[in-house]
Structure 1
Amino acid sequence: MPDQIPSPAPRSATDLFSDPLDSHPMWFKPSLFLSPDFDSESYIAELRTFVPFDTLRSELQAHLSSLNHELIDLINRDYADFVNLSTKLVDVDSAVLRMRAPLLELRDKIQGFRGAVEGSLTSLKNGLSQRAEAAAAREVLELLLDTFHVVSKVEKLIKELPSVSSDWSNGDVNSMQKSNALSSQHVENGTTNLRETQSMLLERIASEMNRLNFYIAHAQNLPFIQNIEKRIQSASQLLNASLGHCFVDGLEHRDVNAIYNCLRAYAAVDNNGNAEEIFRTTIVAPFIQNVIPHGSSGGVVAASGDELENDYLQIKKHVKNDFKFLLEVASAENSGLHVFDFLANSILKEVLEAIQKGKPGAFSPGRPKEFLKNYKASLDFLAYIEGYCPTSAAVARFRAAPSYVEFMKQWNVGVYFSLRFQEIAGALDSALTAPGLVLVQNSDSGEEYSLNLTLKQSVTLLDSLRSCWNEEVLVLSCSDKFLRLSLQLLSRYSNWLSSGLAARKKGSAGSNPGCEWALSAAPDDFVYVIHDINCLGKEISGAYLDHVLRVLSSCSTEVLDLVKQSILHCGKSLDDLLPLVISTIKEALVQKSVEDLRQLKGITATYRMTNKPLPVRHSPYVAGVLRPLKTFLDGEQATKYLTNDARNSLLLGAATDITIRYYELAADLVSVARKTESSLQRIRQGAQRRAGASSDVLDHNVSDTDKICMQLFLDIQEYGRNLAVLGVEAADIDAYRSLWQCVAPADRQDEIKF
C-alpha cells in the first residue's frame, strides 16, 4: 500500500476564533457546482459584479485543493477493496453465456411477435383503405343521386309553370280573363294572384337551381354530369326566360310582392346583371329616351342642344315617380337584396348611354363654359342619386361601380390650361408610345424650323415646347403652369430615352410601355437619337430659352433666374444621355462581332488529333470580326450625323470591348488545349512504361497546342492589321497586349509587330 498523504493537522481545540479550514465566504456556495444546469461562465460573470477577480480565483483554487485532499482520503480509506476488485471478476465468460441463451430466445419471440403485428397492421391498413374507397364511392353516388333528383325536381317544377300561368307569360292574360267573362276587378285580382304565385314558384325553382349548381361544382368532371348537362342547360334557359317574363310583368304593374320574389330568385341563381339589365331596358330606357332622344335621326338631337341641366331635372322626376318603387324594394332592411345595384347598373348606365348617343357634345371640353355647366349639373345629379343609397357602404359601392367610373371618365375636368395640357402633352405622349422610331422628311418638320431634326418624336417635342409659349396659347396668369408643363415635356422625353435604353440593356420592356422602340432599333437608328439630342440641347439652351425669357420679361430678376436654371437643367439632362446612347450602339456592335469570334472554337477541332502541318494563314473568321463596326462607321447615318468626338469615342470603345472578348475566348481556348495536351502526354508516358519502352524518348514533333497557338497568333496579327485600317493602334489596347503574350511564340513575345 503506498504511503498515504498526511492529512492536515487537526485544529486545536482552543482555536476558537480563527476560521475553520473548510469554511467559505457567504457568497461562495460549492453546492451550486453539482446543479445539472450549472454554467461556469454565467456563474463567474455574476460573482464578478461584487467580488474581485483575484479573490474569486483564490477561493476557487482553495476549493480545488480541498477537493483533491478529499479524493485522496477516499482512495486511502477503501484501497483494499479497490485492489481486490480484480480478483473477484472470475468466470465472467460463463456467466455471459448463461445469460445469452434466454436473451436470444426472448429476441426470437419478439421478432415473431413483431412479424405477426406487422401482418395484422398491413391487413388493417388494407381494410381501412378499402373502407375509405367505398366511402368515397358512396359519397359520389349519393351526390349523383341528389343531382339527378334535383334535376328531375327542377324539370317537374318548370313543367308546372304553363299550367299555372297558361298564356300569361306571353302577355295574353287579360284576353284570357275577358274570354271567361269576368269583371275587370276580378281580372286584375286574378292576374295579381297568378303573378305572385308564378313568382313564388320561380323563386322555388331558383333555389333548387342554386342547389343543383352546388352539386355540379363538386362533380362536374364525372360522366353522369356530362350526360345530363343538356338537361341542366335547358332547365336553366327556361328558368331565365320565365323569370324574365315574370319580372317584366311585375315591373309594369308595380307588383311589389312579385318583384320581391323575382329578385330573390335572381339572387339565388347569382344572375343580378340580368335583373338590372331588364329594369334598365324595360322601365328606365323609355323614360330616358323621351328626355334625351338618341334615335337614328340627328335633326331632333341637334335642335335640343347639348345642355344637360333641364334634362337632369326631368330625370330626377322620373327617378322619384317611376324608379323609386324598385329602389325601395331592393334597399329594404333585411331583404337580402343588397347585391343589386340598380342605381349604377340601370339608371346611371342608361343616362350615360343616352348622353353619349344623344348629346355627345356635352362631354366635349371644346367649349369650356358649356362644359363646366354640364359638369356641375352632372355632379348635382350624382349627389341626388346617392341620396337613394341607404348606407355609406352603399354610397361607396355606388361610386366604385363600373358605370359610375365610366361616367366620371367622360368629364375631362379643368379649365383652359387642362385643355391645352391634354392637347400638348397628348401629342407628345402619342408620339412617344409608337412602337418604333419614326423618321421624318425635311418637309415634314416645316420651314420654320432651323433645326434638321430626324425623328418624329423629337419634332413633336419641339412643337410641344414652342406651343407652350406661343402667343395663341399662353396665358400669363398661368405661366407657372405652362413652365411646369414645358419641364414635364422635357422630362418625359428624357425618361422615354432612358427607359428605352435601360429596357434594351435588360433585354425586355417589362411592365414599362413605350420602350419597344429601343428593343427593335438598329445601331444606325441610335445615330438619329444622338443627332437629335445634340440639336435639341443647343436649341433649348439657346433660342428657346431666349424666347421664354422675353415672354416673361415682366417678371422679377429672381424669377427669371429660376426659370433659366430650370430650363438649362432639363437641357443638361438630355446631354447626359449621350454617353448611354453611344454605349448602347457599342454594345450592339460588340455583340455582332462576338458572334464571329465564337468561330475560333473550331480551331481546336481542326488541329486536335490530326496531322495537319503548322498553319501559315489566318482564319477566315478574322475578316468578319470588325466588319459590323466598319460597316456602321462607313454607313450614311454615321457619316452624316455623327460628330468626330462621338465617332472616335465609339470606335475606340467598341474596338477595346471586342478585343477584350477576343482575349477571353482565346485565353480560355489555349488553357483548355494545354490542359488536354498535358493529360494526353501523361497517358502516352504511362502506355510507354507499361510497354517497356524507354521513357527518355521524346516526341520532337510539334504539338497540337503549338499549332493552335500559332493559328491564333496569325489570327490576331490579321486582327491588328484590321484595327489599324480603322485607325486604332492595337498595341495601345491592354487586352490586345495580353492576347499577344498569350499566343505569341517565345521569340515574338517582346515586340508587337504585324
Structure 2
Amino acid sequence: MADPIAAPHRSAADLFSDPLDSHPLWFKPALFLSPEFDSESYISDLRTFVPFDTLRSELQCYLASLNHELIDLINRDYADFVNLSTKLVDVDSAVVRMRAPLVELREKIEQFRGSVQNSLVALTNGLKQRSEAAEAREVLELLLDTFHVVSKVEKLIKELPSVPADWSNGDVNLAEKNSISNGASLQHTENGTNLRDTQSMLLERIASEMNRLKFYFAHAQNLPFIENMEKRIQGASLLLDASLGHCFVDGLEHRDANAIYNCLRAYAAIDNTRGAEELFRTTIVAPLIQKIIPHGTSGAATRPSGDDLENDYKQIRTCIEKDCKFLLEISFEENSGLHVFDFLANSILKEVLSAIQKGKPGAFSPGRPTEFLKNYKSSLKFLAHLEGYCPSRSAVSKFRAEAVYIDFMKQWNLGVYFSLRFQEIAGALDSILVETSLLPMHNVPSGQGNSLALTLKQSVTLLECLESCWREDVIVLSCADKFLRLSLQLLSRYSSWLSSGLAARKMGQTGSKSGCEWAISAVPDDFIYIIHDADQLYKVVCGDFLGHVLKLLSSCPADVLDLVKQSLLQGGKSLNDLVPQVINTIVEALVEKSAAELAQLKGITATYRMTNKPLPVRHSPYVAGVLRPLRAFLEGERATQYLTRDAINEVLLNAATEITGRYNEQAANVVSVARKTETSLQRIRQGAQRRGGASSDVSDHNVSDTDKICMQIFLDIQEYGRNLAALGVDVSNIEAYRSLWECVAPPDRKSVIDF
C-alpha cells in the first residue's frame, strides 16, 4: 500500500490558486511523447523567448505533477502491483535448464566454424599457388614467344637486301636463273616487279611480326631476359625501317601499286604512318615543289621576284594530278585499312607550306592587302582542290583537323588584314567629311533622267566606301560580320555628319565643333544636294546594295540573312529620316530672308500717323519682295533638277506657313500699337475739346489713322495671298493667314477671304 505519511492528494482546483496542471501557452507537454522529441533542440527553441529560470521552474512543476500521477496509479492498482512479484516462482531453475542446451549448441558452432575456416585458408592458398603458377607459365610462354619472334624477324630480315643496289643485283641474278625467251628487257621488268612484290609482301609479314614483338616487349619490358634482347629488337626495328623505306621508295618510283599497297600495310602494322608520309614528302613531293617554288641557297638565283601564288598553285595541282594521285587513290581505297594515312596534309600540304614560308614569305604578309587577299583566296581554292581527292565527308573532316592544315590557316592573319582595310575605307570617308564646305561633283549630268547621280563628293565617297566593303577584291566571307559592321558604321558616320551639321547651324555655333563648318556656311541651294543625295543613297542602300550583300551571303542561314537585311534597312532609313531636318533648315533660311522684307511693315505706321493721306488703294512695294527668296529658290536650276515634286511641295508649304506666321505676328503687333496709340490720342483730344468748350464729335466722320493702316495692310495681304496662290498655295488652309485677314479686313469682308 502507499506510504502512510505521504501527503494527501490535492484537488485539481484550489480556491486560492490556479489548477495544478495548468501550464503557460508556450509549454506543450504533448511534445514529450513525440517520437522525434529532442531535449536539446526543444530547450534551445524555448530559450529564445523564455527565460531559463522560468523554463526550469515549469519543468520542475511538470515533474512534480508526473510523480503525483505515478503515485495515484500505484495506489489505484496496488493489488495487481503486489501480485506481480508473487507470480514469478522458480525463475532461476528455469533459467538453468534453458542454459545447458544453449551452451552445447554454441560449442558445436565454434567447432564447425574452425573447420570451415581451415578449409577456406587451404583453398585460398591453393588458388594463390595456382594463380602464381599460371602467371609464371604466361611469362615463360611470353619469353619463349618473344625469343621465337625475334629470331624469326632476324631470319626474315637477313633475306632482304640492305640497299637498292642489292635489289638490282638480285634482279639480275634472278633474271639469269629464270631466263625465258621473251626478251631481255621484258624479262628484267617482270623480274623486278616480281621481286618488289615479293619484298613488299615479306616486309608486310615482318612488320606484322614486329607488331607482335612490340606487344610482347610492352608487357614484359622489366624482365631481365627481355632487357637483354632489347638491343636485338632495336636493331631489327632499324633494319626493318630501312628496308621498308627502300622498298616503298622503289615502289613509288616505279608506281608499283602492289608493292606500295603492301608497304603501306606494313607501315600501318608497325604504327609508323608518319614515316611513310615523311618519306613520300621528301622523295616525291619535295623535288616537285622545289622546282615550282625554289627556296634555299640553291634556288635563290632562280627565285621569282613576286609573291603571287596563283600560278604556283596551278602548277602544283598539275603535279599532284600527275605524280601523286596514284598514291592518294591507293590510300583512299575502300576497305583497304589505309585510312590512317593522310598524304594530302602531312606530305603535300606540309611541303607546300614549307616551300612558301621559305621561298615566298611575303605571300603571308597582310601589309599589301590586295596581294594578300589574292593569295588567300588562291590558297582556299587550292585547299578545296585537295579536299576533292577525299572520298567522303569524314575524310574531309579528318583532313581539316590535321595540325598542318590548322597551321596553314593560321598563316593568314585576317585580323590584321581587316584592320588595314578598315583604316583604308573608313579613313577615306572620314577625310572627306572633315572638309569645311560641301564639295559638289562638277561632272554630274543634268536633267531629270539622271536623278540617280549623286551630287556631292561626300555622298559619292560614302557609296564608294560601302561598295568597297563588299567588293570581290576586298571582302573575306569569314570576316563578313566585321565588314557588315563597317558598312553600318559608315552609314552612321555619314548620318552623324549631317545631323551634327544641321544642329550646329540651328544653334548658330561658329567654329565650335570641327566638321560642322560646312552647314553654317552653306546656302539654301546647297542643301538641295543633301536632300537629293540622301534620297538616292537610301534607294541604293535598300535596293541594289542590299541585294548584292544578300547574294554574297546566300550560304548563310535564313535567320542570319534576315538580321543582315534588317540592319542595312535600318542604316538606310537613318539617311532618309534626315531629309525632314534638311528641309526645315532650308525653310528657316528662306524665312529669315523673307523676314528682312517684312521689317518694312513697320513703316506703314509712320506713313499714315498724323498725316492727311487718304485711304490707300494699292498694296505696298515691299510685298513683292516677301516671297522673292522662296520663288527664286523653287524656280532655281538646282531645285528643278534635283528636288522631287514632294520635296518641293513640302518646302513650299512649310515656308509659306512660317512666313505667313511671321507676317501675322508683325501685322498684328502694328495694328495693336496703332489702336492703342489712337485711343490715347483720342482721350487727349477729347480732354482738350472739353476744356475749350468745343463739340466732342468733330472728328466722328473722319477716317482714323488706324483704319488707314489696317486698309494698307489689308491691301498688302491680298497681294501676298495672290502671290502665294501663284506659287500653288491655298492660303485658306493656313491658320496664320486667316487670323491676319480677320485682323485687318473691313467688317463687311471678314467672313470671306477674297483677293
TM-score by length of 2: 0.44
Rg (Cα) greater in structure: 2
TM-score by length of 1: 0.44
